[in-house]
Chain A
Amino acid sequence: GAVVSQHPSRVICKSGTSVKIECRSLDFQATTMFWYRQFPKQSLMLMATSNEGSKATYEQGVEKDKFLINHASLTLSTLTVTSAHPEDSSFYICSAPGGQETQYFGPGTRLLVL
Chain B
Amino acid sequence: GDSVTQMEGPVTLSEEAFLTINCTYTATGYPSLFWYVQYPGEGLQLLLKATKADDKGSNKGFEATYRKETTSFHLEKGSVQVSDSAVYFCALTLDNYGQNFVFGPGTRLSVLP
A-side residues, CB < 8 A to B, are 4, 6, 32, 34, 41-44, 46, 49, 93, 95-108, 110
Contact B49 A102 (CB under 8 A): yes
- Say how far A110's CB is from chain B's closest CB, in angstroms: 8
A-contact bits for B42-64, CB 8 A (1 contact / 0 none) = 11111001010000000000000
Given the interface contacts A41-B108, A43-B104, does A97 sit within 8 Å of B43 by beta carbon? Answer: no
CA distance A104 to B43 in the complex (A): 10
Q: Of A42, A49, A98, A105, which one neighbours B43 at CB under 8 angstroms?
A: A105
CA distance A6 to B41 in the complex (A): 13
CA distance A63 to B46 in the complex (A): 29
A-B contact pairs, 24 of them (CB 8 A): A32-B99, A41-B106, A41-B108, A42-B105, A43-B89, A43-B103, A43-B105, A44-B44, A44-B89, A46-B101, A49-B99, A95-B44, A97-B97, A97-B98, A99-B98, A100-B98, A101-B34, A101-B93, A102-B34, A102-B49, A103-B98, A105-B36, A106-B43, A108-B41
Residues of B within 8 A of A32 (CB): 99
Contact B42 A101 (CB under 8 A): no
Given the interface contacts A105-B45, A108-B42, does A97 sit within 8 Å of B105 by beta carbon? Answer: no
B28 interfacial by beta-carbon distance below 8 Å: no
Q: Of A6, A97, A101, A108, which one neighbours B32 at CB under 8 angstroms?
A: A101
B95 interfacial by beta-carbon distance below 8 Å: yes
Interface of A is mostly: strand
B70 interfacial by beta-carbon distance below 8 Å: no
Ordered nearest first, which 8 A-B pairs have the shortest CB separation?
A97-B98, A101-B32, A105-B43, A105-B44, A107-B43, A108-B43, A43-B105, A103-B98
- Say how far B2's CB is from chain A's closest CB, in angstroms: 13
- Say how far B50's CB is from chain A's closest CB, in angstroms: 10
Given the interface contacts A42-B106, A43-B106, A44-B103, does A102 sit within 8 Å of B98 by beta carbon? Answer: yes
Residues of A within 8 A of B46 (CB): 102-104
Q: Which of B70-113 contact A (CB under 8 A)?
A: 89, 93, 95-99, 101, 103-106, 108
